[in-house]
Amino acid sequence: MSSSSPKGVAVITGASAGIGAIYADRLAKRGYDLFLVARNEQRLKASAEHLHATTGVQVTPLAADLNDKVGLARIEKILREDSRITMLVNNAGIGSVASLLQADVDKMQAMIELNITALTRLTYAVAPAFVARGNGTIINISSVVGIAVENLNGVYSASKSYVLSFGHSLQKDLASKGVRIQTVLPGATAAEFWDVAGYAPQKTSDITMRAEDLVDAALNGLDAGELVTIPGLHEAEAWTRWEQDRREMSAKFLNPKPAPRYHIA
């Protein structure tokens, strides 16, 4: 099937529900053909049929478990080889609200494999193709707990800190080569994430954002050229200050001797 869209194909992971499904709707309406990736094949097919019927774009469901090496490798191959792909939305992820003493370590490992390993491998698969063509967009979904790390499960927060740091590195390596990188940090968002994480009431909290509003804000941030988009942060200058302070402090790390406070002769 050849793409009929001049914008090419957007690949969206975790596309069968929640934030991923809204990205699929919005990008279809923007004229992108779609590859939708998720485990739930029935949901994917229903979504693909609906989006094609309502927008006219070509939508291909790709049922795959990104925690399975075979499924992940299949999506990596598509990202490396299909020259129609112009955008990757790394949205697939799982979370938890359990503390260290309550959480199952095997589930934590599975979280790391999806939130970090799969996201990294998919990015590594598509980035060289984007560089070779001199254009492409990678959107990585992090979380505000990547900064406010004490707010949820520690492994989940750490995985989202990784996504934020990884995005900074990608921007450094790829921006000059025509590849756009955007890291999105949602706050609490009304999605099935909370059912899986073990705290369904969060979906209806008065601090919880609609998934539609989150995605619309993120795409507007992309249009505006933002490298990091935090839809729930109204004081944009707070992020600017925080990032400036981080970069200024980074320049002060390179000293050959320990600081005087450690009393090393």
71 domain-assigned: yes
2 domain-assigned: no
1 domain-assigned: no
Number of domains forming the structure of the chain: 1
Residue 41 belongs to what domain range?
A: 9-262
Three-class SS state of 193: helix
Distance CA 162, CA 81 (A): 27
63 domain-assigned: yes
Write down the H helix ranges in the chain: 18-29, 41-55, 69-81, 105-112, 119-133, 154-174, 193-197, 211-223, 236-250
144 domain-assigned: yes
Question: Which CATH number do you get for residue 232?
Answer: 3.40.50.720
5, 64 Cβ separation under 8 angstroms: no
78 domain-assigned: yes
**Of 23, 32, 156, 162, which is the active-site residue?**
156
4 domain-assigned: no
Active-site residue, 262 included:
no
pTM of the model: 0.92
pLDDT tens, position by position, for the chain (265 residues)? 445 789 999 999 999 999 999 999 999 999 999 999 999 999 999 999 999 999 999 999 999 999 999 999 999 999 999 999 999 999 999 988 888 888 899 999 999 999 999 999 999 999 999 999 999 999 999 999 999 988 888 999 999 999 999 999 999 999 999 999 999 999 988 876 656 655 566 656 677 899 999 999 999 999 999 999 999 999 999 999 999 999 999 999 999 999 999 999 8
163 φ, ψ (degrees, to nearest 5): -60, -40
Length of the chain: 265
32 domain-assigned: yes
Residue-wise over 195-218: b if at least 16 C-beta within 10 A, else e?
A: eebebeebbeeeebbebeebbebb
